[in-house]
Amino acid sequence: MAVKKNMKSKLFVVTGGSNGFGRAVVQKLLEKNHFVISLSRSLILKKEVEMYQSTFFQFKVDFSKPFSSATQRFLIRTFSKINLKKIDQVCLINNAAVIHPVDRIENLFEKEIQKHIQVNLAAPIAMTQVFLKATSLFKGPKIVVQLTSGAALRAVEGWALYCASKAGLNMFNQVLTLQNSPDQNFKAILYSPGIMDTSMQKNIRSVKKSQFPLIEDFKRFKKEDQLKAPEVVADDLIRILSDFSKLESGQTYRIG
């Protein structure tokens, strides 16, 4: 779908954009005629996005491994194709994350620990750095969104790594906000989507009670239809991002 002439659009970079919540965000943004760059370990099928060939770009990235140099080159190449003069706002949505391993701390393996921290903390930090470098010449409004969780604020048995990585990302966002406070065109926010009906929830329900004592609660959430559809949450996030002037840098926004 082509963007109308003389009409400015927003540009969004979404990590983990091929599945779950990220996929819902990508689809909603494309339907609103925004430019979207999806960075994910798998690609969206071409037939699903062929009508958006002039506004959608995707790149395969394994966030469990170092990736920044190749990703930065891709972003810069893609930005040159888009022509940032047509863009009135750029936004990074750091969505990609994992929940596993879920277990008692003494049962964790070092490789699992390293992979989890790489995906949930090191990758969004590196992705933010890549985004800031790639958009350094862009003078319009710029937003960085980190997906957070209630687990960043309270201890959940079995989720030691998830709690720690999300808490670390929250603090990183505070420093990012402080560093850029003089820039009125820059805002960094946290978004907490709540519990959604995604593969992450399915993975949580698949572990043993000895690994995750609260598993029966999460099974009940599914049984009682308490899980929100990713599309509903995507609409909420996009609504929040729609008015740059109302965003407060450093704040945590939650599903309304």
Q: Cα separation of 144 and 196, whole Å? A: 22
Q: What is the pLDDT of residue 126?
A: 95
pLDDT value at residue 69: 85
Residue type, 107: N
Rg of the chain, C-alpha, whole Å = 18
Q: What is the pLDDT of residue 164?
A: 98
Residue 114 CA from chain centroid, whole number: 20
pTM of the predicted model, to two decimals?
0.94
Phi and psi dihedrals of 34, rounded to 5? -90, 160
* CA 236 to each of CA 25, 68, 192: distance values in angstroms, whole numbers, following the listed order: 10, 29, 11
Closest listed residue to residue 15, CA positions, set 169, 119, 165: 119
| 134-171: b (≥16 Cβ within 10 Å) or e | bbeeeeebbbbbbbbbebbeeeeebbbbbbbbbbbbbe
Closest by Cα among 73, 79, 89, 67 to 37: 79
pLDDT mean for each 10 residues of the chain (256 residues): 60 96 97 96 93 94 89 88 86 97 98 97 96 92 97 97 98 98 97 93 93 95 94 97 96 90
Who contacts 178 (Cβ-Cβ below 8 Å, separation ≥6)? 250
Surface-to-core class of residue 83, CB atoms within 10 Å of its CB (0-12 exposed, 13-18 middle, 19+ buried): exposed
Distance of alpha carbon 82 from alpha carbon 54, whole angstroms = 9
Do 218 and 201 contact (CB within 8 A), yes or no?
yes
CA gap 73, 84 in Å, rounded: 16
Whole-angstrom Cα distance, residue 161 to residue 78?
Answer: 34
Domain boundaries 9-196+229-254, CATH class: alpha beta
213 vs 202: CA distance, rounded Å = 16
Judge residue 101's burial from the number of C-beta atoms within 10 Å of its C-beta, 0-12 exposed, 13-18 middle, 19 or more buried: buried
Please identify every residue annotated as catalytic.
162
Specify the pLDDT at position 166: 98
Q: Which residues contact 206 (CB under 8 A, 6 or more apart)?
A: none
One-letter amino acid for residue 149 of the chain: S
Query: Would you say 52 and 30 are in contact if contact means Cβ atoms under 8 Å apart?
Result: yes
